[in-house]
Amino acid sequence: MKKPLNVFYKKLPVGVLEKKEDDTLGFTYSAAWLGSKERFALSPALPLQEEQFNNRITKSYFDNLLPEGETLKIFEQILKKSFEDPYQILESYGLDCAGALEITPLQGPPDHTAGGDLEKISFDEIDQVIANKDSLYVHSLVKHKGRFSLAGAQDKIPVIVQDDEVFLSIDARPTTHILKPPARISGVLNSVQNEYLCMRLAQLCKLEVPTVKLVGKEHLLFLVERYDRAIVNGRVERLHQYDMCQAQGYPSAEKYEEDGGPGFAQNYKTIEKVSDNKINDLEAALSWLAFNLLIGNNDSHSKNLSFLYVDGETRLAPMYDLLSTSIYKNMSSDFAFSIGGQRNPSKMKKKNFEMLAEDLGFEKRKDIFLKVMASMASLVQQQVEVLWAEISGDDRFKYIQKDLRAEIHSRVNLYKTL
């Protein structure tokens, strides 16, 4: 058996992640955690118990803390090592993950005092990485010895922003922002501007989203403030979070409904069970779904919905990863979720939205999502004009605005009169 990995929350030992002789994984809460006044379950799929969790449930939780897709493949190629399970990456790169947990083979929690090590990564250096068509994530781990693991398929890094400069945390001090370079997908152009505009539109439409901005020199970069961090007594504190796949015991490979993952109705009912702010969070989830349909975000899968655990209460986290994928011809034209049996947004009709309402449990209010869509369509139609006025004359958006404007206009007209 490999050396166990210890999982810490604010220096408290939460539990142990083990890789067994048969290469399966198991997670066990520590007795100290189970007896602590600060204890909480890491997710509904990992309830507080003394018994060890089995391989699937363990992998499902920790797998969702890891990079995916091309980023992981490039990482494996450079290190000449195949990472077959979460243990292998978290052993070396688990000190700064999404949420509040620190994962390490060390017996004690890492010391990340305010005087710890930071390493500047300049915009000139980032521009060179992009020009070389390299992964910024991999570059930061290999060149700067970063110790972080970010979930998802996008190329991105966690950073600390000070005086408009960007730093990597070398001592596992909590990072404050996520920095995304342009997407490294053929045919996907101006992804940074796309995401910025969609996130800003969401903010104008009263969806809860983190603060975002554009930075950089030669290449624009998308900078988003981490919602799983808070300033407490002048220090950055980690906040516990888990995504919808972790909440329900699905590995990241099943984040899409078509791959066996949860559908929207299943996620909605999970919010109903888990949230301590049910009414607001259920309304927010419906608004999130409507907004994604209206901007053409076909990649709005289950990992794009998360929970935050703050001060003993669980609520839906702010919305993130909002961008229009439908404007790119080489990306899927099917929506991530089936809406009343239909995944093609252009073919969704009134009956599909009524069937979704039934799936959500609204047998006597079949028009509930139709009303949400109509309301959001009117709001988007109004606020997108505010957005266009905001960026008027800004050449950074000249190549994306036309396509995005046409897509949103088309979808608003399609859905607002159903």
Whether 77 and 130 map to the same domain: the answer is no
Q: Tell me what pLDDT residue 327 has.
A: 96
pLDDT in tens, 238-262: 999 999 999 999 998 899 999 999 9
Strands 165-169, 235-238: pairing is unpaired
Whether 95 and 143 map to the same domain: the answer is no
User: For 335, phi and psi rounded to 5 degrees?
Assistant: -75, 150
Catalytic option among 63, 299, 321, 359: 299
Cβ contacts of 363 within 8 Å, gap of 6 or more? none
Whether 128 and 27 map to the same domain: the answer is no
Cβ contacts of 232 within 8 Å, gap of 6 or more? none
- Per-residue pLDDT averaged across 108-113, rounded? 68
Domain at 384, CATH number: 1.10.1070
Could you tell me if 302 and 243 are in contact, meaning their C-beta atoms sit under 8 angstroms apart? yes
- Asked whether residue 40 carries a pLDDT value surpassing 70, the answer given is yes
Asked whether residue 64 is assigned to any structural domain, the reply reads yes
Whether 256 and 296 map to the same domain: the answer is yes
Tokens 């899968």: give the residue: 301
More confident residue, 169 or 61: 61
Confidence bin at 63 (pLDDT 50/70/90): confident
Instruction: Judge whether 299 counts as a catalytic residue.
Output: yes
Q: Which of 35-44, 81-90, 364-373 has the lowest mean pLDDT?
A: 81-90
Whether 161 and 285 map to the same domain: the answer is no
User: For 366, phi and psi rounded to 5 degrees?
Assistant: -65, -15
How many domains does the chain fold into?
Answer: 3
Domain encompassing residue 28: 5-104
